[in-house]
Structure 1
Amino acid sequence: MIEMDTNAMTTDEIILETAIDLMEKKGFKAVTTKEIASKSGFSEMTLFRHFGTKKNILEKAVETYSYLIDMKSILYDKVEYDLRKDLTRVSKTYHRYNQQNYKMVLLSFQERNTHPFIGESLSENPKQLKMYLVEYFKEMQKRNKMVAVDPEIQAMNFLWMNLGYFLSYQLGGRKVAVVPLDKFIDDSVDLFVKGLMPREVNGIQETVK
């Protein structure tokens, strides 16, 4: 049974969290309503009365626990137009989002062919973040603080880099993601920034063309 403070939770919340925990471990198809009810501490009749079907449970869980972040405020309300500081903040936010959604994210990969709506719901934040990163990179190029590269490609590279760490840790644990998250963010952002910042040649800063 998953650990949760049931005293502070409603019947719906207990059932939903139990269901997601089981589905993430075993897959949607393998989990039965009887098992969800038993692990939740309720009768199967209570489960049916609250949700009706297993698919309804999944849909409600996606709606309830797809944690969203206001990516625009994270990037633009606190923007410093300093590549290292801004991208570090974005990277930390991205990992916080994934960590708070990790069961749903992993479940979306498992069920991508049978229940694609999970991934579609969870992809909303990453899509927004990519869009804002593209606009941010364009602005940094206008300010001559970033070299002439494709903003779309670099936004995707940055997100893939962070997604790679997240998946490596969730699927392989410390055996694969041996570097602590904070060090990964610091070192990977530092390397990424070095590739994007204009360089000085003979005392003259490279310009964006």
Structure 2
Amino acid sequence: MVKTSNATMTTEEIILETAIDLMEKKGFKAVTTKEIAAESGFSEMTLFRHFGTKQALLERAVETHSYLIDMKAILYDNVSYNLKEDLKRVSETYHKYNQYNYKIVLLSYQERHTHPFIGEQISENPKRLKMYLVDYFKEMQKQGKVVECNAEAQAMNFLWMNLGFFIARHLGGQKVSHMPLESFIEESVTLFVQGLEVREP
């Protein structure tokens, strides 16, 4: 999420950001409202007055910090039908969204059994990305630019490849790889294109 100076944030925003920070580090169950209030610089009564319960606080945090990307503006309206160029834009969009919401994304993995609604909320963007990619690969096949393949399988392969980098980076840090995101996108997209692109005989 984007860090903002406390001077420009409302009481609710400060409490929400503090709650997400603590819940992502410790898990929902382990964090108390008293701890959230103290860390945010307010009384527990202030927290209850604004949110009522810890569950309500979590629900508001997920709702507030799970923004939807305008896929039409970013992807559909800018499509070039150049496989490498378009896939790089998809990959960059995916990582931009995940980086903005990384604490909520990681929290959804931690709480997937006890609070599945978090995963349902943040899955909207990946679902839209998959739909875009499926349609895109089918259109590229019609244009003779992509080999015959299962469009949905390749869309999921592309998303899983990017998800793997995101998870490895946030769970393992640089212990897994020192490769910068820009280099990963360039290398992975180049290789993916080599597997799908129709080559001239």
TM-score, normalised via structure 1 length? 0.93
Deviations 1:148-175 (Å, cap 9, x if unpaired)? 0100000000000000000000000111
Shift of 1:110: 0.2
> Are the aligned partners of 1:165 and 1:177 in contact in 2 as well (CA < 8 Å)?
no
Which residue identity lines up with residue 100 of structure 2 in the other structure? Q
Which residue identity lines up with residue 16 of structure 2 in the other structure? L
Is 1:142 the counterpart of 2:103 in the alignment? no
Is 1:194 the counterpart of 2:183 in the alignment? no
Which residue identity lines up with residue 106 of structure 2 in the other structure? L
Q: 1:5: which partner in 2? A: 5
Counterpart Cα distance in 2 of 1:158 and 1:46: 45
Q: 1:27: which partner in 2? A: 27
Counterpart Cα distance in 1 of 2:197 and 2:179: 25
> Are the aligned partners of 1:69 and 1:125 in contact in 2 as well (CA < 8 Å)?
yes
Counterpart Cα distance in 1 of 2:9 and 2:24: 21
Q: Which runs of 4+ in 1 moved over 2 A?
A: none
Unaligned runs of 5+ in 2: none
Is 1:182 the counterpart of 2:195 in the alignment? no
Which is worse superposed, 3-12 or 58-67? 3-12
> Are the aligned partners of 1:169 and 1:176 in contact in 2 as well (CA < 8 Å)?
yes
Which is worse superposed, 144-153 or 72-81? 72-81
Deviations 1:37-77 (Å, cap 9, x if unpaired)? 00010000010001000000000000101122112322110
Shift of 1:4: 5.1
TM-score, normalised via structure 2 length? 0.97
Q: Between Structure 1 and Structure 2, whose CA radius of gyration is higher?
A: 1
Counterpart Cα distance in 2 of 1:95 and 1:104: 14
> Are the aligned partners of 1:67 and 1:100 in contact in 2 as well (CA < 8 Å)?
no
Root-mean-square deviation (CA), in Å?
0.9
Q: 1:104: which partner in 2? A: 104
Is 1:50 the counterpart of 2:59 in the alignment? no
Deviations 1:76-115 (Å, cap 9, x if unpaired)? 1000000000000110010000000000000000000000
SS at match of 1:200: coil
Counterpart Cα distance in 1 of 2:23 and 2:117: 15
The sequence identity of aligned pairs, in percent, is 71
Unaligned runs of 5+ in 1: 202-209
> Are the aligned partners of 1:24 and 1:106 in contact in 2 as well (CA < 8 Å)?
yes
Aligned residues: 199
Residue correspondence of structure 1 range 95-174 to structure 2 within 5 A: 95-174=95-174
Counterpart Cα distance in 2 of 1:121 and 1:106: 13
